[in-house]
Structure 1
Amino acid sequence: MMILRTAVRVHKWLALLIGAQVMLWLLGGLVMSALPIERVRGEHNIASHPPLSATPETLVALTDAVQAAGLEAIDEAVLTAVTGEPTWRLRHGDLTVLVSARNGQRLSPVNESLARAIANHDFVPEANIESARLLNDPPSEYGPGGPVWQIVFADVNNTRLYVDPDNGLVRARRSDTWRIFDFFWRLHVMDYDDGADFNHPLLIISASLGVMVALAGLVILFFRMRRSVQLWRKTRQA
């Protein structure tokens, strides 16, 4: 039949064209579903600490903290904890300044010693810090531009924490597990640069061809199953 012959040709030639990518989609999906996402993100290694507890009379007043930060005005003031110590996080426009709520000392930009302390406070496993570097041009695994502190731990998974030098926050957690996931993610979305774009024409066209292969396969399956049923009926009648 014409429909069957056309379906066979479409299925065969399109499968030859994108068969390798279909295998990569299946392999990538298998790997990414097998890796627990909390381990990929490093969330299982985030230390848990009790909430900050302090009495107002032991803390530096907000007005004094603003003065220590050298700010004339603020858009936001948050009393938080940095390495377990009460800290004022003050923001004015795009500028964020950390001030110790214990002694009024300005803490930002975060120096190497504090960056190491922040990373150690955040990380559960008992592993030594292998290196600490302030990167103005961080690797693509981090995402945003620098500067940022890269703290590398000497653990089995080569964990790397990225600490923001302005606000003291751990911005990203990367590891060998993350790199495996990221590698297969890039193959999966066919974005071999940074894996951030999954709406590009190459992926859309390839996915469309994949759907056509599947539809042609269903047409072939339908006709061949119908033929098998017809042969079974004839055999049964005989």
Structure 2
Amino acid sequence: MTKSLLLRKAHRYLGLFIGIQFLGWTISGLYFSWNNIDNVHGDHLRKPARYLAGGVEVVPPSAAIRNLAATQAVDSLHSVQLISLLGKPVYQLQYFSGHVGEGMHLHVHHALADATTGALLPALNEAQAVAVARENLVAGAKVASVQYLASTDPKHEYREKPLPAWAVSFSEPACTAYVSAELGTLQAVRHDQWRAFDFLWMFHTMDYATKDNFNNVLLKIFSLAGLVTVVSGFALFIVSSRTLKRITRWG
């Protein structure tokens, strides 16, 4: 078998093997480049953020921290933030409870406290979650359904975000707002444009389990196969080009 024929066969079968994935990469790349990422994130469905008045009167965060430590095993604090929850000043407390190994913390825990008294607040109920979602979305939003999420699978559109959460679905605009029950804030807005982006992102990363892992073995294999295909194409051109053969002969 000649060198040219061997390269031609290798190029053909490699192209057939990775062609569908290359098509997926191209289509997804086109979708990404032709869509505004802010719209994909649902920013156009959100109202401008509301802030507390500069003269708001609050107790020191230490009051809330003391109340938290009296009821929970607080190993260390992650953060304390003053937020507006349905127009009222509230401390958002994030903390660690317990260790794993040498100083490695367990997951972050969350709590809310009234910033005017320091008293701890319960996690948001359904009515409060709907109110938070309405407060953050464009005017006239119509609620279609509400679901409480204690857990999600790796492919869920609300993944790697604080749980538990309330999924508040709207019929107009057609979207789902995810509100953290323990943080009291809107965490994400999902709609059809984002879902199409997420589906194509899965093809782009070739991570069909969690969608976000760029270091998976399948992607590495196809990337190398793509490189070999391109190199074999250049090599095939070189060995089969009549012009190059003439130049070589004359040289």
Q: Tell me what 1:163 maps to.
A: 179
Amino acid at match of 2:180: D
CA-to-aligned-CA distance 1:86-109 (integer Å, 9 cap, x gap): 212234434432223356664331
Q: Tell me what 1:39 maps to.
A: 39
CA-to-aligned-CA distance 1:138-192 (integer Å, 9 cap, x gap): 3511113732111111125x31121111111222221111111111111222222
Structure 2 runs not aligned, ≥5 long: 97-107, 247-251
Q: Tell me what 1:132 maps to.
A: 146
Q: 1:77 aligns with which of 64, 77, 80?
A: 80
Q: How does 1:59-208 map to 2 (within 5 A)?
A: 59-60=58-59, 62=61, 65-66=64-65, 69-72=67-70, 75=77, 76-93=79-96, 94-102=108-116, 106-138=120-152, 140-144=156-160, 146-156=163-173, 158-208=174-224
Identify, as 1 or 2, the structure richer in helix.
Answer: 1
Amino acid at match of 2:11: H
Q: Which has the larger radius of gyration?
A: 1
TM-score by length of structure 2 reads: 0.77
Q: 1:70 to 1:59 in 2, by over 3 A?
A: same
CA-to-aligned-CA distance 1:59-106 (integer Å, 9 cap, x gap): 345455456x55437834332212332212234434432223356664
2:226 and 2:139 mapped to 1: Cα distance?
44
Structure 1 runs not aligned, ≥5 long: 232-238
Amino acid at match of 1:227: R
Are the counterparts in 2 of residues 138 and 148 from structure 1 also a CA contact under 8 Å? no
User: What's the % identity of the aligned pairs?
Assistant: 28
CA-to-aligned-CA distance 1:122-153 (integer Å, 9 cap, x gap): 21253112122211133511113732111111
CA-to-aligned-CA distance 1:48-68 (integer Å, 9 cap, x gap): 135321435x4345455456x
> What is the aligned-residue RMSD (CA, Å)?
2.9
Runs of 4+ with >6 A deviation:
none
Q: 1:216 aligns with which of 224, 232, 236?
A: 232
Q: Tell me what 1:236 maps to.
A: none
Query: Tell me, what secondary structure is at the counterpart of 1:154?
Result: strand
Q: 1:83 to 1:222 in 2, by over 3 A?
A: farther
1:190 and 1:90 mapped to 2: Cα distance?
37
Query: Tell me, what secondary structure is at the counterpart of 1:172?
Result: strand
Identify, as 1 or 2, the structure richer in strand.
Answer: 2
Amino acid at match of 1:219: A
